[in-house]
């Protein structure tokens, strides 16, 4: 009799163990399902900006108003669908984020040139006051992906740009 009770108890334990293992396996698969196949794509200037801020530490940043963007940068905002621009609040730090979604494809070349000039001016200023900030600016580039033109000035700008190029939707202009 003792042997029979142990067999029934062992069988019940084994069945429960198999059930719990299968349940845990099923839950693990469902919790990560689709992540490899469905990478979140960034398809707005706001999404791109928010994602950038998760990839590196930035100092306190200020958002210039539209008049400052038009006057200071020389950008025609009538040809921009959406944008996010942030500048370091600390004038001794070069950190900047600028993301522009084009409304007019014909404006792409002009916008790229304006932003390259912006980076060149910032580098020229930084060369005189901070070799460290100068090096950070030199590693920053104006990038284009789909309907977006952007740049990031940060110590991690190269890795940020690499990540963004994978995630920005390569959609045509709408």
Encode pLDDT of 39-82 as tens digits.
Answer: 577 889 999 999 999 999 999 999 999 999 999 899 999 999 99
What pLDDT is recorded for position 165? 85
pTM value?
0.74
pLDDT score of 2 more than 70: no
In this structure, the strands spanning 143-145 and 96-102 are: unpaired
Task: Report yes or no: 42 and 51 within 8 Å, Cβ to Cβ.
Answer: yes
Tell the residue number behind the tokens 């790229």, with chain if given.
112
What pLDDT is recorded for position 168? 84
Report the C-alpha gap between 8 and 15 in whole angstroms: 10
């Amino acid at each position: 009799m003792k042997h029979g009770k142990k067999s029934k108890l062992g069988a019940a334990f084994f069945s429960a163990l198999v059930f719990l293992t299968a349940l845990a396996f099923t839950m693990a698969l469902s919790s990560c399902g689709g992540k490899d196949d469905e990478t979140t794509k960034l398809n707005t200037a706001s999404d791109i900006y928010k994602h950038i801020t998760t990839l590196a530490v930035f100092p306190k940043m200020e958002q210039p108003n539209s008049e400052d963007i038009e006057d200071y940068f020389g950008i025609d905002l009538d040809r921009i669908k959406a944008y996010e621009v942030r500048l370091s609040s600390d004038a001794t730090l070069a950190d900047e984020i600028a993301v522009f979604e084009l409304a007019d494809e014909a404006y792409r070349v002009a916008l790229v040139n304006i932003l390259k000039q912006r980076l060149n001016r910032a580098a020229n200023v930084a060369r005189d006051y901070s070799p460290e900030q100068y090096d950070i600016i030199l590693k920053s580039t104006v990038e284009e992906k789909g309907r977006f033109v952007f740049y990031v000035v940060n110590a991690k700008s190269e890795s940020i740009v690499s990540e963004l190029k994978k995630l920005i939707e390569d959609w045509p202009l709408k």
